[in-house]
Chain A
């Protein structure tokens, strides 16, 4: 579940760079990490704002950050009373950030803080609304397995979709709302909302390339891919998704049933005791069920169309 994000504070401070850091666990060396981050970002010579979002009651981090804040660091601390997930933390942080440029970071993500100014410069120099830092292991260009899978399913070309280091324009930060595990696909979702997304290759530190996924992570990742595939392709036309599968299963089941009946009537093969009959009928039943569910989905879409503005008008000139 995601908490309702706090409304974005008005009057974006121009020039300010906001840094949103979601924390999911207490880090022993948070102060040192913050100092390194700060040092890297000082190269920008711009006013800074750090928004730390604590995902749960992280007493140690909270105390450390409060101490830093008292010492004059430009730190905002947001805290969830209980763990709510990175997507929610990120969304709340993005809404809270006031800068014209917002950086998102993972404190455990190995990146040289000196690379961060490059990210900001790239965003401000170009047309892009969102620039992500793509980890690149020396001597190995191109994305990992996940990226290849996404490329095949959705035709998107990203080297490192899940990179948590991104620079966003304020309007992206104001609009993006992430649920569940959607932060892993933030570039894709931003693109679907009509924002221009670029990748900036940064050298990966250590063995942390885009292709590395912990073995435990695969099932949940595959589930995410299916979700994002549905979300991006079929949200408006759910029946194209359900209908395709349903009709396929229904037709196969119908053909199988017809064949069995043909065998019974013409060839005289006894029908009542064959498990094949159950399989064939089951497919017909399943096909009808998938189709019926898809049609309900279509009714939902129809009932709510228009209100969920599906197109974003960027400019009106008269």
Chain B
């Protein structure tokens, strides 16, 4: 039987939070007329998280599905595992540290039913130390600027998706930050919704400052992927042609300028020519990759047609 809603929560060393989390979610779901399952993913915790999760009442509402990963894989992988094993038609993801408030779930669902495919939580008033908030603000600006999807809070885990949308988006490494960008590529309709944010009650935060560099590098990678999925060839070919242009201009300068430029300058001309050739060959390589895996890129591209829905198609089901 397919539940209407799956709530996916990755847990890493959250033994004190498991039960309060379950109770808060159960309370938030009580007034909703829909069947729900809760997918808890124990991401290789070293404390009693899994044991606490097993103690939770099973068979009630929400129905429980507990996954135990073999080791600690990180938040994205844990979330991906949870999403892969979630059976609901709508999937809500949230953090396991109780900083997100499950009471926001009905609002997210209502928003989704207005015709959106993805509703992103926005923690307007973050209850974290500035050393966590500041890098995250910079990262969000960068992500919005590069991907062209100006989401104010990419790092917020509280999100609601159509299951077929999120299941078609490849999630690996730390990609969860870029889900809105990926989804927008697939033509999804994205909404932002302000959500509550609580200070941490138990346990410690698992983030650090080194994230800025990682986000920066990941961002460059994701921008390439997004562009590549849209148009496989131009990116590298464009760079190659640019280098070829440089070489040609420099070459012309070399031929016609008097007195003739020195030996080192000639070297520079040859180098940019070599770079142009290299990039063009890489462009062919990427084209080869695209053709051998066309199915993957297509699935992602064609999602656009499937993902967007008319507003209110199933609104009555989820109306709070």
Contacts and interface: CB of A to CB of B under 8 A. Distances in A.
A243 B220 contact: yes
A274 B263 CA distance: 8
A296 B170 contact: no
Nearest to A301: B172
B24 interface: no
B264 A274 contact: yes
B289 A303 contact: yes
Interface string A289-312: 101111110111111111000111
Contacts of A296: 282, 285-286, 289
A2 interface: no
B286 A299 contact: yes
Interface in B102-156: none
Interface string A258-302: 000000000000111111111001100100110111111011111
Given A285-B275, A316-B67, A277 B264 contact: yes
Interface in A217-260: 236-237, 239-240, 243-244, 247
A193 interface: yes
A281 B70 contact: no
B225 A292 contact: no
Contacts of B282: 292-293, 296
A244 B221 CA distance: 12
Interface string B251-294: 00000000001111101100110110011001001100110110
Contacts of B285: 296
Given A281-B267, A292-B236, A305-B170, A193 B70 contact: yes
B272 to A, nearest CB: 7
B170 A295 contact: no
Given A244-B217, A292-B236, A303 B296 contact: yes
Nearest to B264: A277
Given A193-B70, A299-B225, A281 B271 contact: yes
Contacts of A80: none
Contacts of B263: 272-273
Contacts of B243: 288
Interface residues of A, number: 49
B172 A305 contact: yes
A180 interface: no
Given A285-B272, A292-B236, A271 B70 contact: no
Contacts of A81: none
B66 A272 contact: no
Nearest to A244: B217
A288 B282 CA distance: 12
Contacts of A313: 67-70, 81, 85
Contact of B172 (A236, A270, A294): A236
B221 to A, nearest CB: 4
A54 B168 CA distance: 46
A15 interface: no
A59 to B, nearest CB: 43
Interface residues of B, number: 57
A310 B224 CA distance: 22
A318 interface: yes
A318 B292 CA distance: 39
Contact of A306 (B172, B173, B289): B172
Interface in A186-236: 191, 193-195, 236
Contacts of A293: 282
Contacts of B54: 317
A307 to B, nearest CB: 8
Interface stretch (B57-65, B92-100, B307-315): B57-65
Given A300-B289, A313-B68, A285 B274 contact: yes
A277 B221 contact: no
A275 B225 CA distance: 37
A185 to B, nearest CB: 17
Contacts of B78: 311
6 contacts: A237-B174, A289-B278, A296-B282, A303-B292, A303-B296, A315-B68
Given A303-B290, A303-B293, 19 more contacts: A237-B217, A237-B221, A272-B261, A272-B264, A274-B262, A274-B264, A277-B267, A277-B268, A278-B264, A278-B268, A288-B239, A288-B275, A292-B278, A292-B282, A298-B224, A302-B225, A306-B170, A310-B172, A317-B65
Interface of A: 191, 193-195, 236-237, 239-240, 243-244, 247, 270-278, 281-282, 285, 288-289, 291-296, 298-306, 310-318
Nearest 6 A-B pairs (CB), nearest first? A194-B70, A272-B262, A273-B262, A194-B71, A305-B170, A303-B293
